[in-house]
């Protein structure tokens, strides 16, 4: 009679597998899948202020979050139709590969390996960055090439660890890394003097210096930028329709800034005589049909999320606590690299 145990064990195994299979079904193609379920599943950082973090009221906001909101606005006419999946650095690629999320907007650097071997596609870069060093002014350093033998605080996750190692190897210098997963812990370690230098994206360094030191002049940012960090939203390979929508929803924000259309002025812009604006806002039909969404898709994006400049200033720029300058992320007309191909 002991054998009934095995029957029970089988039953348990089967019920576990049944439980596993009782999840929500999802269509194969991402575009149709998203349309069917009625919201965009967006992978974000657990908490990176300015890019994606919940505010005091638990509402997600940030530059990366705005990409997801723009896609939702383009698809559904409602920027709120986004569900956020906070992801740790290790989780993010598998989460996208496995289909758990539809977009990964989590400060991810676009690289060849990720574009190929890891099975990702990248949307246009929504934040251009480069890795630099910050050191205490007391050390009197003028160049990163004087850092031989230094201890360097590194945030893992993007490609930072490799970049620092490359830089020191190229200049025949040595260093000791201290790699800590959480931004706050890392900054604490640096400001308490655990490391001689903090390496991170250069714009971040300025913001960190402004926000976290009593006297920002105590720290200097060395002039060398040791890497290119084009932070881009990523999507799975194999769904061109979805890739197009994500790409052009972002470009619409850039184009709107170029044309001077803000979320406040977009209503009056509907009557603009400019053919480009007419096409952008769907007054002249065509773009929406090509993308497979409503013709007023870009209107919704601009109305609900704002143009790229608005998003930038609100989340990381002068309107935020980070107060980062536009720098490389200004429009190409103002010396930056933000450039939208023609929306026609």
Partner 1 sequence: MSNLIQALNSARVRGWLYQGLFLAGALAVAGYLVSNTLTNLANRGVATGFGFLEREAGFEIGESLMSYAASDTYLRALVVGLLNTLSVSAAAVVLATVLGVAIGVARLSSNWMVGRFAAVFVETVRNVPLLLQLVVWYTIMNRLPSPREALEVVPHVFLSNRGMKFPVLADHPGHGWAFLALLAGIAAAIAIVRYGRRRREATGKPFPTLPAAIAAVVLPPVAVFVATGAPLALDVPALAGFNFEGGGSVTPEFTALLIGLSVYTAGFIAEIVRSGILAVPHGQTEAGLALGLSPVQILRLVILPQALRVIVPPLTSQYLNLTKNSSLAVAIGYPDLVSVTNTSANQTGQVVEAVAMMMAVYLVISLCIAGFMNWYNRRVALVTR
Partner 2 sequence: MSKEVPTNTTTAWAASYEEEPSQASVPPQANGVTALKPLGWAPVNWAKANLFNTPLNTALTVLCLAILWFTVPPMVNWLLLNAVWSGSSEACREAAGACWSIIAVKHRLIFFGTYPYEEQWRPFLACGLFVAMLGISGVRAFWRPALSVAWALVLIAMGVLMWGGILGLTYVANDRWGGLPITLMLSVFAIALAFPLSILLALGRQSSLPAIRTFCIGFIELMRGVPLVSVLFMASVMFPLFLPEGVTVDKLLRALAGLTLFTAAYLAEAVRGGLQAIPKGQYEAADALGLSYWQKTRLIVLPQALRIVIPPIVNQFISCFKDTSLVTIVGLYDLLTAATVATTDPEWRPYFAEVYVFAGMIFWLFCFSMSRYSQWLERLANRYTRR
Kindly state whether residue 128 participates in binding partner 2, applying the rule CB under 8 A. Answer: no
- Binder to partner 2 among 32, 35, 77, 100 (CB under 8 A)? 100
- Binder to partner 2 among 36, 38, 80, 94 (CB under 8 A)? 94
Kindly state whether residue 225 participates in binding partner 1, applying the rule CB under 8 A. Answer: no
CA-CA distance, 74 to 202, in Å (whole number)?
A: 32
Kindly state whether residue 88 participates in binding partner 2, applying the rule CB under 8 A. Answer: yes
Determine contact, residues 271/278, Cβ cutoff 8 Å: no
Please, what is the minimum distance in Å from the beta carbon of residue 208 to partner 2? 8
Please, what is the minimum distance in Å from the beta carbon of residue 289 to partner 2? 28
Determine contact, residues 137/222, Cβ cutoff 8 Å: no
CA-CA distance, 226 to 153, in Å (whole number)?
A: 15
Please, what is the minimum distance in Å from the beta carbon of residue 276 to partner 2? 38
- Binder to partner 2 among 14, 36, 59, 176 (CB under 8 A)? 59
321 binds, among partner 2, partner 1, none (CB under 5 to 8 A by kind): partner 2
Stretch binding partner 1 (CB under 8 A), from 72-80, 170-178, 242-250, 305-313: 170-178
Stretch binding partner 1 (CB under 8 A), from 37-45, 50-58, 190-198, 218-226: 190-198
Determine contact, residues 286/279, Cβ cutoff 8 Å: yes
Kindly state whether residue 17 participates in binding partner 1, applying the rule CB under 8 A. Answer: yes
Could you tell me which residues are beta bridge partners of residue 54?
60
Give the H/E segment covering residue 266: helix 266-269
Give the H/E segment covering residue 197: strand 197-201
214 binds, among partner 2, partner 1, none (CB under 5 to 8 A by kind): partner 2
Per-residue contact flags (x/-) with partner 1 for residues 67 to 106, judged by CB under 8 A: ----------------------xx--xx--xx--------
- Sign for the CA dihedral angle at 136, 210, 335, 68 comes to positive
DSSP secondary structure letters along 86-136: EE-TTTHHHHHHTTS-SEE-SS-B--HHHHTTT-EEEPPPSEEE-EEEEEE
Kindly state whether residue 4 participates in binding partner 2, applying the rule CB under 8 A. Answer: yes
Nearer to partner 1, 229 or 257 (CB): 229
Query: Residues 182 to 221: which contact partner 2 by CB under 8 A?
Result: 182-184, 187-188, 207, 211-212, 214
Determine contact, residues 120/235, Cβ cutoff 8 Å: yes
DSSP secondary structure letters along 287-341: HHHHHTS-TTHHHHHHHHT--HHHHHHHHTSTTSSS----GGGSBGGGTSSB-PP
Give me the residues that bind partner 1 (CB under 8 A), please.
1-7, 9-10, 13-14, 17, 89-90, 93-94, 97-98, 113-114, 117-119, 139, 148-151, 156-157, 159, 161-162, 164-166, 168-169, 175-182, 185-186, 188-189, 192-194, 196, 236-238
């Amino acid at each position: 009679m002991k054998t009934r145990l095995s029957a029970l064990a089988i039953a348990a195994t089967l019920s576990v597998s049944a439980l596993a299979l009782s999840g929500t079904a999802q269509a194969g193609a991402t575009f149709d899948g998203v349309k069917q379920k009625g919201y965009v599943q967006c992978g974000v950082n657990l908490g990176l202020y300015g890019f994606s973090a919940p505010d005091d009221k638990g509402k997600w906001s940030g530059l990366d979050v705005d990409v997801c909101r723009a896609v939702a606005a383009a698809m559904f006419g409602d920027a709120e139709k986004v569900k956020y999946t906070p992801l740790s650095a290790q989780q993010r690629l598998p989460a996208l590969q496995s289909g758990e999320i539809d977009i990964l907007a989590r400060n991810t650097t676009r690289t060849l390996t990720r574009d190929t071997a890891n099975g990702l596609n990248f949307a246009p870069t929504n934040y251009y960055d480069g890795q630099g060093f910050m050191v205490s002014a007391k050390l009197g350093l003028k160049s990163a090439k004087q850092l031989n033998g230094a201890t360097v605080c590194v945030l893992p996750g993007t490609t930072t660890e490799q970049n620092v190692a490359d830089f020191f190897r190229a200049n025949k210098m040595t260093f000791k890394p201290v790699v800590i997963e959480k931004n706050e812990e890392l900054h604490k370690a640096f400001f308490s003097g655990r490391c001689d230098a903090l390496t991170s994206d250069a714009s971040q360094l300025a913001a960190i210096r402004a926000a976290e030191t009593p006297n920002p002049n105590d720290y200097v940012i060395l002039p060398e930028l040791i890497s290119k960090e084009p932070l881009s939203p990523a999507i799975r390979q194999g769904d061109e329709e979805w890739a197009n929508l994500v790409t052009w929803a972002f470009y619409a924000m850039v184009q709107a800034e170029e044309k001077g259309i803000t979320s406040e002025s977009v209503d009056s812009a509907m009557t603009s005589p400019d053919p480009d604006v007419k096409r952008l806002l769907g007054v002249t039909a065509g773009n929406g049909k090509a993308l497979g969404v409503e013709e007023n898709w870009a209107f919704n994006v601009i109305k609900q999320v704002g143009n790229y400049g608005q998003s930038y200033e609100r989340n990381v720029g002068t309107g935020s606590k980070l107060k980062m300058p536009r720098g490389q992320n200004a429009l190409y007309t103002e010396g930056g690299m933000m450039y939208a191909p023609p929306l026609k």
